Amino acid sequence: MKIGFIGLGVMGRPMAGHLIAAGHEVYLNRVKEASQHLAEAGGKPLETARQVAEASEIVILMLPDTPDVEAVLFGEVGVAQGLSAGKLVIDMSSISPVATKAFASRIGELGAAYVDAPVSGGEVGAKAASLTIMVGANPSDFERARPLFELMGKNITLVGEVGAGQTAKVANQIIVGLTIEAVAEGLAFAKAAGADPAKVRQALMGGFAASRILEVHGERMINGTFDPGFRVRLHRKDIGLAVNAATSLELSLPHTASLQQMMNKALAEGLGDMDHSALFQMLDQG
């Protein structure tokens, strides 16, 4: 298939690489030094998002935030200008569910289809093609996109109509963020009380507190290794989406709101580009 891939960051690079390795004709935008290997592997760099859309049957976006997606889709030389009837846009970024529905409506007016498919699993999952992919789409568009999803992920779920994928991702980020905070508080307590946090973690991994976050991020916290992974600033962005959506729904999410403030403090202290497990560092420092 002819596939466009826009957004060659930490996650996007390996995701695009899997599509190229599978033999698809992949058109790339914004190829820089870090993504040059994709061109060497057979990816085809193009100057603008419009050119990528013109050349492709399906265009995939993997961008940082809602304004980035809007600019790439509807900017002066954006994807929308290169679309024609029958093409498909798949947004795998993590953005606002409300904006997603609006973007899908505008793309639909051009005769193209729209799927939102945010992912979870971080850089490790992207490299291993083991991402969890949460999809909002009509069933026929989902089936059209599924073979591509299967090259990038393992746990692929059609959650509902367009926007439902982003809603699931926001819920995921709430749970992940609060669990990281809980693990950080538990290990900080253990350390302050004079216990060996590594031994405490080992003990807890055999009980009801066991979790993937305690396993992976608990080890990061103990070792002080906070290279991203998934940056605090990006997780803070997702928690902001949750808080804003809760406000519009007149829903109380008190611990999510406190997590947002904790992440704001982390950015103020210069931890924004560290892995989100670095929330432990603020607690450990008092």
Domain that holds residue 230: 167-284
Distances (CA, A) of 213 to 60, 125, 177, 227: 29, 14, 10, 16
Q: In the block, which residue shows the tokens 């058109």?
A: 27
pLDDT at 264: 97
Q: What is the CATH number of the domain that holds 157?
A: 3.40.50.720
Structural domain count, the chain: 2
Which of 161, 184, 203 represents a domain boundary (last residue)?
161
Dihedral pair phi/psi, residue 35, rounded to 5°: -110, 10
- Looking at the fold, whether 9 and 60 belong to one and the same domain comes out as yes
- Looking at the fold, whether 89 and 150 belong to one and the same domain comes out as yes
Q: Give the contacts of 65 (CB within 8 A, at least 6 positions apart).
A: 93, 95, 237
Task: Give the residue numbers marked as catalytic.
Answer: 169
**Measured at the alpha carbon of residue 84, what is the angle toward residues 142 and 82, in degrees to the nearest 5?**
105
- Looking at the fold, whether 45 and 74 belong to one and the same domain comes out as yes
Report DSSP letters for 222-245, one per residue: HHT----SSBHHHHHHHHHHHHHH
249: Cα within 13 Å, side-chain hemisphere: 12
- Looking at the fold, whether 272 and 135 belong to one and the same domain comes out as no
pLDDT at 41: 98
Digit-by-digit pLDDT tens for the chain (286 residues) are 999 999 999 999 999 999 999 999 999 999 999 999 999 999 999 999 999 999 999 999 999 999 999 999 999 999 999 999 999 999 999 999 999 999 999 999 999 999 999 999 888 899 999 999 999 999 999 999 999 999 999 999 999 999 999 999 999 999 999 999 999 999 999 999 999 999 999 999 999 999 999 999 999 999 999 998 889 999 999 999 999 999 999 999 999 999 999 999 999 999 999 999 999 998 887 5
pLDDT at 284: 83
- Looking at the fold, whether 156 and 173 belong to one and the same domain comes out as no
- Looking at the fold, whether 220 and 136 belong to one and the same domain comes out as no
pLDDT at 228: 85
pLDDT at 282: 87
Alpha-carbon distance 114 to 121, whole Å?
Answer: 23
Q: What is the CATH number of the domain that holds 244?
A: 1.10.1040.10
pLDDT at 286: 59
